[in-house]
C-alpha cells in the first residue's frame, strides 16, 4: 500500500541531499501510514510533521532522514533514541540493522507504541522514563538521537556516548532550535557542528525543560 507515494517521498529526500543509501532504502520500506492515526493515513507521505495525539507529533520525514544520516551509522551499531513518539524514527533505524533503545516520557504514547511494536514485531527496546538522563545500563551508544527540542545539551547523554559516537540534538528556545551534532572524539573531547533551523516539541525532564 502507498508504494508509489513512498517512492515520491524518497525522490524528494534525494533532492534535499539525503544521500545515505541505507537511509533511503529504509524510507522506501517503512510504512509511515501505519504509525499515524487512521484519519491521517492519506497524508502520511507528505513531507510534513503530523499530530499523533496526546499533544505530540511524528517528525517531518526530511528531519528524520537528515538526523539519521547525521548519525553516520554502520549496521549493528547501538543507538539510543530520546522521544519514542509514534515509533517511526525507531523503526527506520531498526530497518537499517541498528540496535535501538528508545525512551518515552508520556505513558499513553509509550503504551500504544509498545503494543504496536509487539504486533508488528519491530525489534527495539522501549522504556518509559525521562530520556534526558539517558539509559546508562546499555551505554555506551554509537549514536544518540534526541527527537524533542532541548534548552541545552544534557551532560548524561554526552557521558553515555561511545568514543567516535555522535549525538544529534535540537537545541534552542521553545519555538526554534539549531540541530546540534556532537562527536565524541575522546573522553571529554567533543567536536560540534550546528545546522539551523528546526522546530520540535519540547524535551521535558531533569536535563531538559521543566514543563
| Phi, psi (rounded to 5 degrees) for 83 | 100, 75
When asked if residue 122 is in the footprint of ligand SAM (CB under 6 A), the reply is no
* Sign of the dihedral defined by the CA atoms of residues 145, 61, 128, 208, in that order: positive
The correct pick among 85, 134, 143, 172 for binding ligand SAM (CB under 6 A) is 85
Of 61, 71, 141, 133, which is closest to residue 99 (Cα–Cα)?
141
Stretch that binds ligand SAM, among 16-24, 67-75, 79-87, 158-166 (CB under 6 A): 79-87
β-strands 141-146, 78-82 pairing: parallel
- The residue within the footprint of ligand SAM, chosen from 9, 57, 69, 177 (CB under 6 A), is 57
Active centre residues (catalytic): 59
Give the largest CA-CA distance in the chain: 48
Interface pick for ligand SAM out of 103, 169, 171, 182 (rule CB under 6 A): 103
Contact status, residue 141 vs residue 79, Cβ threshold 8 Å: yes
Residues 177-196: x/- map of binding to ligand SAM (CB under 6 A)? --------------------
Query: Which residue carries 527506520 as its cell?
Result: 92
Interface residues toward ligand SAM, by CB under 6 A:
56-59, 82-83, 85-86, 88-89, 103-106, 109, 130-132, 147-148, 200-201, 203-205, 208
Amino acid at each position: 500500500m502507498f508504494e508509489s507515494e513512498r517512492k515520491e517521498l524518497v525522490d524528494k529526500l534525494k533532492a534535499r541531499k539525503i544521500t545515505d543509501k541505507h537511509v533511503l532504502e529504509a524510507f522506501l520500506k517503512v510504512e509511515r501510514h501505519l504509525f499515524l492515526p487512521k484519519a491521517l493515513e492519506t497524508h502520511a507521505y507528505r513531507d510534513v510533521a503530523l499530530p499523533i495525539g496526546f499533544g505530540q507529533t511524528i517528525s517531518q520525514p526530511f528531519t528524520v532522514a537528515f538526523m539519521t544520516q547525521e548519525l553516520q551509522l554502520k549496521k549493528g551499531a547501538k543507538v539510543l533514541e530520546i522521544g519514542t513518539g509514534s515509533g517511526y524514527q525507531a523503526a527506520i533505524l531498526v530497518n537499517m540493522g541498528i540496535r535501538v533503545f528508545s525512551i518515552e516520557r508520556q505513558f499513553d504514547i509509550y503504551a500504544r507504541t509498545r503494543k504496536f511494536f509487539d504486533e508488528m514485531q519491530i525489534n527495539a527496546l522501549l522504556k518509559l522514563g525521562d530520556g534526558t538522563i539517558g539509559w546508562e545500563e546499555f551505554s555506551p551508544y554509537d549514536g544518540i538521537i534526541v527527537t524533542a527540542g532541548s534548552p541545552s545539551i544534557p551532560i548524561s547523554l554526552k557521558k553515555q556516548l561511545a568514543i567516535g559516537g555522535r549525538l544529534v540534538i535540537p537545541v534552542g528556545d521553545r519555538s526554534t532550535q539549531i540541530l546540534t551534532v556532537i562527536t565524541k572524539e575522546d573522553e571529554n573531547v567533543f567536536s560540534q557542528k550546528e545546522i539551523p533551523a528546526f522546530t520540535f516539541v519540547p524535551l521535558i525532564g531533569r536535563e531538559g525543560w521543566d514543563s
